[in-house]
Chain A
Amino acid sequence: MGLTDMDHPLLARYAEIRAEAAEQYGPDSQAVVFLLYEELLSVRAVLVQDRSANTLGRRVRELATGIQQRYETSGMVDSGRDHWLLSQNPVLIEYDREVFERRYRAALDACGVSALHLTTATDAFTHLRPGCTHIYVVDDESRLLVWPEPFSLAEMVFGRAPDQRLQGTRVVHPMLVPDRLRVRAAGELVVLGGPADCMVVANMKSGHFRPPPACADVLREVLREVFAVSDEDIDIFTVPQPQL
């Protein structure tokens, strides 16, 4: 007989911490959402080492459902002003050139860092930090571009803060595509495992491009190709679209 959720030490520990956070901050708090996301990453990191762990596989599916439900009810801030949809199918979103040059060009030029074009899992595990969050875009040529510097734990809990490496300017998604400012998907991703066997957890959190849920299909296809993974090794969380 396999382990139950409560028997598995990793799941039991997360359940305990999550219960404490829910008690202190509420079951709908960001603390709980953050812990669910962290649990998903931890469980996938273990699962990729031992794919026979059925308890963990089941928990991944539960977590994915729970996180997406929370994303659906977290609201959308507004529709944004500086980007527009060029095409619905396939999705293509463009950021405003004038705004980009005014707000982000100098910081991008000064930082001496640029997005990496990842074409294989080996590429990814050479340049990215497994288990850490990086921002990515899929550009208008369906290339996966990722910012090499991961974000800190605090940034993942409280949102991406001004980045001191860039003189107080946050690294933002348009900085990954400075030439054409066009994307088919954008958000955050985490790679887990290693180049020979890996999993990817991603989302569509981009305040600059506000990718619609349809972008998940684009990203899934690109991840399958770059990482040679199947759909069950990928989680993609979509963000509710601005409503009236």
Chain B
Amino acid sequence: MTNTIPPTGPAPGGLSTVGVEHECKWELAGDELHEADGLDRFFEGSVLSTALTPLRRPLTFVSSTVYIDDAARSLTRAGHTLGVVVNVASASHVCWLTLKQAVRRHAWRDGLELAERLTPAEVPQAINDEARLPVGHARRCRLVDGPLAPVAVATQRRVKSLARSADGVEVAYSLDLVTFRSPDAHCPPIGTYSCVEVEVNSSAPHALRLLGELADSMDQWLGRPRARLTKAQHALAAVERHTLMETAA
């Protein structure tokens, strides 16, 4: 039986973090985004720009996530996400192994977020190393069964903004443009996805109240319901479609 006792002491040689996130998401159609129009101005006119004070200018980041799961894809199907975030260029020496455990899904997603810093060379071993906080937690909670392996890849261009409400709640919101690939070698892009995300990392009642108000307003502004699926679920669906087509061909 898997040991359910939490680990003690620091992660072996690594930097790890534990946090919460409360997140809403809206899916966008590809033709709604026009890079030439300036993606960093996408939110102009929305409640995010009119009701909050920006803490800095929007920044664009590029990173890839290799999604990890067991043979039954237990994590992804349940709405959790285990992945390795791989950076490029000036941050190429740093990867993050992350577990986003969905704790509750209602008007938004309440999640626990565990992350551990890795070097790229450590990634292949780390994804099945229970001493790594995200993997160990997934095992102890019995979210996965059996060996873990890469199941999908997403490369994301994120235009991220940070802002603060009048009563001091920090809100992060972003525009994400994602391309999916299979983890197999020589795989061209097999799908794209775009979304808006709004999140707070505080569980204080006034922070959650603010998130609810912002999300209601964004529902109106974007004119669509909130998205339910995670990026990992979209990525896995793209890989499964691709595999089916390959098999049929």
Chain A contacts to B: CB under 8 angstroms: 23-24, 26, 28-30, 33-34, 67, 70-77, 157-162, 203-205, 207, 237, 239-240, 243-244
Q: Are B88 and A74 in contact (CB under 8 A)?
A: yes
Which residue of B is nearest A69, CB measured?
Answer: B89
Contact partner, B121, options A28, A161, A204, A205, Cβ 8 Å: A161
Q: Are A74 and B61 in contact (CB under 8 A)?
A: yes
Say which size band chain B's interface belongs to: 20 to 34
Chain A residues touching B, majority SS = loop
Q: Are B55 and A244 in contact (CB under 8 A)?
A: yes
Q: From residue A210, how far is it (CB to closest CB) to chain B in Å?
A: 10
Q: Are A26 and B189 in contact (CB under 8 A)?
A: yes
Question: Hey, what's the 0/1 contact readout for B186-216 against A, CB within 8 Å counting as 1?
Answer: 1111000000000000000000000000000
Q: From residue B211, how far is it (CB to closest CB) to chain A in Å?
A: 18
Q: From residue B163, how far is it (CB to closest CB) to chain A in Å?
A: 10
A-B CB pair tally, cutoff 8 Å: 94
**A161 CA / B95 CA spacing, docked (Å):** 13
Q: Are B89 and A71 in contact (CB under 8 A)?
A: yes
Q: Are B179 and A26 in contact (CB under 8 A)?
A: yes
**A28 CA / B64 CA spacing, docked (Å):** 9
Which residue of A is nearest B17, CB measured?
Answer: A78
Question: Hey, what's the 0/1 contact readout for B139-175 against A, CB within 8 Å counting as 1?
Answer: 0000000000000000101000010000000100000
Chain B contacts to A: CB under 8 angstroms: 55-56, 59-64, 86-94, 117, 119-121, 155, 157, 162, 170, 179, 181, 185-189
**A73 CA / B58 CA spacing, docked (Å):** 11
Known: A33-B89, A159-B93, A244-B162. A75 touches B64 (CB 8 A): no
**A77 CA / B90 CA spacing, docked (Å):** 10
Contact partner, A74, options B56, B89, B188, Cβ 8 Å: B89
- A23, A34, A73 pick with most chain B CB within 10 angstroms: A73
Contact partner, A30, options B88, B162, B188, Cβ 8 Å: B88
Could you list some 13 contacts between A and B, CB below 8 A?
A24-B185, A24-B187, A26-B64, A26-B189, A30-B92, A33-B88, A77-B117, A158-B119, A158-B120, A203-B90, A204-B90, A205-B93, A240-B90
Could you say which residues of chain A place their CB within 8 Å of the CB of B64? 26, 28-29
Q: Are B94 and A77 in contact (CB under 8 A)?
A: yes
Q: Are A207 and B88 in contact (CB under 8 A)?
A: no
**A233 CA / B170 CA spacing, docked (Å):** 45
Contact partner, B86, options A24, A30, A34, A205, Cβ 8 Å: A30
Could you say which residues of chain A place their CB within 8 Å of the CB of B89? 30, 33, 67, 70-71, 73-74
Could you say which residues of chain A place their CB within 8 Å of the CB of B94? 77, 159, 207
Known: A26-B181, A73-B61. A158 touches B92 (CB 8 A): yes
Could you say which residues of chain B place their CB within 8 Å of the CB of A239? 90-91
**A162 CA / B120 CA spacing, docked (Å):** 11
**A23 CA / B155 CA spacing, docked (Å):** 13
Which residue of A is nearest B15, CB measured?
Answer: A78
Which residue of B is nearest A72, CB measured?
Answer: B60
Which residue of A is nearest B61, CB measured?
Answer: A75
Could you say which residues of chain B place their CB within 8 Å of the CB of A243? 56, 59, 162
Q: Are B120 and A28 in contact (CB under 8 A)?
A: no
**A161 CA / B92 CA spacing, docked (Å):** 12
Q: Are B90 and A205 in contact (CB under 8 A)?
A: yes
- B55, B63, B121, B179 pick with most chain A CB within 10 angstroms: B121
Known: A159-B121, A205-B93, A244-B162. A70 touches B185 (CB 8 A): no
Which residue of B is nearest A26, CB measured?
Answer: B155
Identify the 6 closest CB pairs spanning chains A and B, nearest first: A159-B93, A74-B89, A158-B120, A75-B61, A239-B90, A30-B88
Q: From residue A135, how far is it (CB to closest CB) to chain B in Å?
A: 12
Which residue of B is nearest A204, CB measured?
Answer: B90
Q: From residue A32, how far is it (CB to closest CB) to chain B in Å?
A: 8
